Amino acid sequence: MAGERLELAPAGIARPRVLARAKEVDQLIRRLYPLELKRKPFCVVAIGGYGQRALCPHSDIDLLFLHHDLEEDLLSRAVQSIVYRLWDRRFDVGYRICTLEEVLSDALNDLSLFTALLNMRLVAGKRVLFQKLASLFEERLISGRRKEIFEVLKEARQKRLSFYQEDAFLLEPHLKEGLGGFRDFQFLLWAARVLFGLQQLKDMEKAGLITAGERASLKAASDFLLFLREELHLMAGRKEDRLYFEYQPTLAVKLGYGLEVETAIEKFMTSVYRAMNIIREGTEALFDHVEMILGHRPEDRKYLAPGLEILSGRIHLLFREQALLDPSYLLRIFLYQAETGLKLHHLTRTFLKEKTPLKKFSGFEGRIFTKLLTKPYAYQALKSLRETGVLLYVLPEFERLLGLTQFDIYHTHPLDEHLFLTVAELHKLKEEEPDFWPFVKDEEVLFLAALLHDITKGEGPGHAKSGAKKAYNIALRLGFSPQQAREVSKLVAQHLLMIETALRRDLTEEKVVIDFAREMGDVSHLTRLYYLTMADSRATGPSAWNEWKAALVKELYLKAAKLLSEGELAKKETVNELLKREEILKEEFGSLIDNLPPCYLLHAPLEEIRDELFLLKDYKREKGAFRLLVKRLNGVYRAVVITQDRPGLFARLTGAFALHHLDIRSARIFTLTDGTVLDVFEVAAPYGEIWWEEVRKTIAQILSAEKDEELERRLKDLKPLVCSLRRPEKEPEIHVQLDNIQSDFFTIVEIFAPDKQGLLYFLAKALYKWPVNIERAFISNRADLASDVFYVRTLEGEKLSDEELPDLKAYLEGLLKELCPAKTKNS
């Protein structure tokens, strides 16, 4: 399939330059070749990179002085005459002087000498001697040892990569030793040379080991790296093979990637990654091919699925042409790969790489793709999809992302790899943090969002928003329902919201968490975003995630989950209702809405709220002491008091109601950011009728009083009403319970006590004196037993500390015993 198109800078000019340089050194050595050795058994052999004629400006020149029983004096004179001259010209020369036997036995145990000899080439001296070395080398060191050498090569590569695979080398790649660097390319050639006796890419193509397309892109990629190495050496003025940050801007601009530096660097590095990726894939494919040949008998076959078998331990496609006509057959290959973790058979891989599917896939077939994302080896399958080009058939949007880099130290991986890794991290998280996974509900939604979350990154600012739109269309194309597509889209749109909220907002603020939970809507979406946030960060780079950040994100998750599953937002419709109301009221009241505390908009029907807001607006315009709004609804009254907040206000208001024998059923206290307070009471009158004008006067009086003594005196003098007089005498039941666990933002004070005139006033006052702020109160009276629940916080707006709770409990119990003294036994 569409092989990686590689638009690389003028890389072609590098090859002639390095060849010319090698030639120049050849000629120099020949000129320096001592006359006295003309007829002696001696020769100068180029090995390593120089043997390959790949000499960059500051590359080492590796020489082998081969001789047959020559005296030491003569040898040292000869070597000096050549090597010293080269040193004078500032070449770094590495050399060894040995006889045939010596070099052959050294090379047996020294891999780097052995591999250097693979590129040996006669520069000057006796040809016969050199030819002897060449044939003995082949005979003794290669034939019969092919498998052994391959294992050694493989091990050496593994060892090298374990070092160069670190994240730092992703940002500043090592052109020679890094993953997909020169060394990898050499390993590819060496393996082909040792195992199949093939010398060049051309021969490998002829032997059917690689395709024509692979050969072309391997050549382009290695030429590009060579060119970079050339430039890098010149720029650094020394043998520098690592593309450090400091070199990237100059090189990018110099190589014509544009004049705007940052964009140029990103484009340039994208080319570098693409080139290195081609070499890495090529090398790994060849190694895999060799391993298959060495490790399995060719007839090792096992049935896997209709049209698919396991051949030599790899997934093999039986009906090749059909795969081009039947997308579901094609995609199922990768589905099985994601399930089993097996590699693709080399024949299957090269076939898919060369050919393009002929038929567009439908939504039904798209779902095979989304399903494979949820399988344990999805990451391997994605890599195969990318390598064979099938990925671009399913998701052409990825074309732009391949190797795309961001010039910062935060994002260590190219974009396509980052997205793949996000999927891989999700699979790990599913194992590592299984507690909340069941709430994810629709796994496919989460995994697809993980793969697409940065789909428009680098296309301009606001990639979350633009990506959401694109992701929606992709999801539909892949066969998701509109509902699922919306869920994917929402995850993409919000993929930064959770981490930003967790790190930059105060999670002990109820409003912060409520606003966030509101954005989430329900626990499933919240949980998906939680896992996406972790996976995204872990796939970004080492500095993007740690236990420290994890703790904050988890705190936000748990608090929001609680609100959505147990709290005020628990019902699914609630959040939608809230958003709707906000919109309606915003139009009518403008910025007034912004000052309201969370959940105010939900405490009553919309009509009630509207009336309250009119009153609030009026109060704000004209000020005055307070406003009172009363409405009758199903047997009780809603009384709303708007005034300036002050200590003890709530207690005084309850006192005022008590003086009129009004029963408070519930109360909510809403404090606005500007210090205005909105207290909403539901009250009932024992005999139905209430003289509200009287109540209003009482409130005015009490609010304007300096002290509470007058109010308290009146409360104590208050005679019980006739209708509530008759009560059986019994021991007062008093319970005080304090709970710090149930709510994330409040301490909950629960009180059971015999109902008594003014009880609520004294409780509220006691709490205010402690001091705590009462934010909500729920009061229910069962016969003669009052049950009062208060949601309280410290004056700073926090829950009380656990240590404080026993003292507060004792204090309230003491107060209640005083208010409701025990009856004497004899009565």
Partner 1 sequence: MKKIEAIIKPFKLEEVKEALAGIGIKGMTVSEVKGFGRQKGHREIYRGAEYIVDFLPKVKIELVVEADQVEKVVETIINSARTGKIGDGKIFILPVEEAIRIRTGERGREAV
* Residue 39 CB, nearest approach to partner 1 (Å): 59
- Binding status of residue 561 toward partner 1 by CB under 8 A: yes
- Binding status of residue 805 toward partner 1 by CB under 8 A: no
Judged by beta carbon, residue 551 or residue 705, the one nearer partner 1 is 551
Judged by beta carbon, residue 435 or residue 693, the one nearer partner 1 is 435
**From CA 149, how far away is CA 134, in angstroms rounded?**
17
In the 8-state DSSP scheme, what is residue 174? B
- Single residue of 559, 638, 652, 765 touching partner 1 by CB under 8 A: 559
Which part of the chain contacts partner 1 (CB under 8 A), choosing from 210-218, 228-236, 347-355, 557-565? 557-565
- Binding status of residue 552 toward partner 1 by CB under 8 A: yes
Which part of the chain contacts partner 1 (CB under 8 A), choosing from 27-35, 268-276, 498-506, 631-639? 498-506
* Residue 769 CB, nearest approach to partner 1 (Å): 20
- Binding status of residue 796 toward partner 1 by CB under 8 A: yes
The β-bridge partners of 290 are none
Judged by beta carbon, residue 152 or residue 550, the one nearer partner 1 is 550
- Binding status of residue 549 toward partner 1 by CB under 8 A: yes
* Residue 437 CB, nearest approach to partner 1 (Å): 13
- Binding status of residue 568 toward partner 1 by CB under 8 A: no
- Binding status of residue 792 toward partner 1 by CB under 8 A: no
**From CA 317, how far away is CA 307, in angstroms rounded?**
6
SS3 readout for 750-780:
EEEEECCCCHHHHHHHHHHHCCCEEEEEEEE
Q: Which residues contact 412 (CB under 8 A, 6 or more apart)?
A: 167, 170, 171, 540, 541, 542
- Single residue of 508, 595, 676, 787 touching partner 1 by CB under 8 A: 508
Judged by beta carbon, residue 562 or residue 638, the one nearer partner 1 is 562
What is the full DSSP assignment across 306-335?
TTEEEETTEEEES-HHHHHH-HHHHHHHHH
What is the full DSSP assignment across 694-717?
HHHHHHHHHHH-S-SHHHHHHHHH
**From CA 286, how far away is CA 293, in angstroms rounded?**
11
Give the type of residue at 279: I
Crossing angle between the packed helical segments 212-236 and 346-354, to the nearest 10 degrees: 80
**From CA 674, how far away is CA 94, in angstroms rounded?**
79
Q: What tokens does 32 get?
A: 């320096």
Give the type of residue at 71: E
**From CA 51, how far away is CA 30, in angstroms rounded?**
15
**From CA 427, how far away is CA 431, in angstroms rounded?**
7
* Residue 434 CB, nearest approach to partner 1 (Å): 12
- Binding status of residue 505 toward partner 1 by CB under 8 A: yes
| Tokens 């301009």 found at | 460
Q: What character string, x for contact with partner 1 (CB under 8 A) and - otherwise, covers 737-756?
A: ----x--x------------
* Residue 432 CB, nearest approach to partner 1 (Å): 15
* Residue 726 CB, nearest approach to partner 1 (Å): 44
- Binding status of residue 528 toward partner 1 by CB under 8 A: no
- Binding status of residue 802 toward partner 1 by CB under 8 A: yes
Q: Is 197 left (phi over 0), alpha (psi -120 to 50) or beta?
A: left
The footprint of partner 1 on this chain (CB under 8 A) covers a number of residues equal to: 26
- Single residue of 263, 340, 466, 565 touching partner 1 by CB under 8 A: 565
* Residue 16 CB, nearest approach to partner 1 (Å): 41
Judged by beta carbon, residue 131 or residue 546, the one nearer partner 1 is 546
Q: Is 66 exposed, middle or buried (0-12, 13-18, 19+ CB in 10 A)?
A: buried
- Binding status of residue 801 toward partner 1 by CB under 8 A: yes
- Single residue of 558, 592, 629, 703 touching partner 1 by CB under 8 A: 558
Judged by beta carbon, residue 69 or residue 435, the one nearer partner 1 is 435
Crossing angle between the packed helical segments 127-136 and 100-109, to the nearest 10 degrees: 30
- Single residue of 94, 258, 376, 797 touching partner 1 by CB under 8 A: 797
* Residue 825 CB, nearest approach to partner 1 (Å): 43
- Binding status of residue 673 toward partner 1 by CB under 8 A: no
Q: What tokens does 232 get?
A: 């890098």
Which part of the chain contacts partner 1 (CB under 8 A), choosing from 126-134, 191-199, 321-329, 497-505? 497-505
Which part of the chain contacts partner 1 (CB under 8 A), choosing from 226-234, 483-491, 545-553, 818-826? 545-553
Q: Is 7 exposed, middle or buried (0-12, 13-18, 19+ CB in 10 A)?
A: exposed
- Binding status of residue 506 toward partner 1 by CB under 8 A: yes
Judged by beta carbon, residue 607 or residue 803, the one nearer partner 1 is 803
Q: What character string, x for contact with partner 1 (CB under 8 A) and - otherwise, covers 86-125?
A: ----------------------------------------
- Binding status of residue 551 toward partner 1 by CB under 8 A: yes
Decide if 553 contacts 536 (C-beta within 8 A).
no
* Residue 465 CB, nearest approach to partner 1 (Å): 23
- Single residue of 219, 511, 554, 617 touching partner 1 by CB under 8 A: 554
- Binding status of residue 432 toward partner 1 by CB under 8 A: no
Bridge-based pairing state of the strands 92-99 and 121-125 = unpaired
Give the type of residue at 666: S
* Residue 796 CB, nearest approach to partner 1 (Å): 5
Which part of the chain contacts partner 1 (CB under 8 A), choosing from 20-28, 397-405, 558-566, 714-722? 558-566
- Binding status of residue 546 toward partner 1 by CB under 8 A: yes
- Binding status of residue 511 toward partner 1 by CB under 8 A: no
- Binding status of residue 548 toward partner 1 by CB under 8 A: yes
Decide if 451 contacts 369 (C-beta within 8 A).
no
Give the type of residue at 260: E
Judged by beta carbon, residue 353 or residue 430, the one nearer partner 1 is 430
Judged by beta carbon, residue 732 or residue 797, the one nearer partner 1 is 797
Which part of the chain contacts partner 1 (CB under 8 A), choosing from 216-224, 543-551, 587-595, 804-812? 543-551
**From CA 234, how far away is CA 465, in angstroms rounded?**
44
- Binding status of residue 435 toward partner 1 by CB under 8 A: yes
Side-by-side strand order, sheet with 314-317? 301-305, 308-311, 314-317
Collapsing DSSP states into helix, strand and coil, what is residue 336? helix
Which of 492, 730, 766 shows the shortest CA–CA distance to 654? 766
- Single residue of 5, 798, 806, 807 touching partner 1 by CB under 8 A: 798
- The torsion angle over the Cα atoms of residues 513, 517, 518 and 522, rounded to 10 degrees, is -170
Give the type of residue at 665: R
Helix ranges, 412-507 (H): 415-432, 443-452, 463-477, 482-493, 497-504
Which of 428, 405, 427 shows the shortest CA–CA distance to 416? 405
Q: Reply yes or no: is the peptide bond before residue 771 cis, omega within 30 of 0.
A: yes
Q: Is 64 left (phi over 0), alpha (psi -120 to 50) or beta?
A: beta
Judged by beta carbon, residue 101 or residue 802, the one nearer partner 1 is 802
**From CA 435, how far away is CA 505, in angstroms rounded?**
25
- Binding status of residue 636 toward partner 1 by CB under 8 A: no
Judged by beta carbon, residue 435 or residue 717, the one nearer partner 1 is 435
* Residue 808 CB, nearest approach to partner 1 (Å): 16
**From CA 564, how far away is CA 558, in angstroms rounded?**
10
- Single residue of 242, 562, 638, 776 touching partner 1 by CB under 8 A: 562
* Residue 27 CB, nearest approach to partner 1 (Å): 44
Judged by beta carbon, residue 484 or residue 527, the one nearer partner 1 is 527
**From CA 746, how far away is CA 741, in angstroms rounded?**
9
Chain residues binding partner 1 by CB under 8 A are 435, 503-506, 508, 546-549, 551-552, 554-555, 558-559, 561-562, 565, 741, 744, 796-798, 801-802
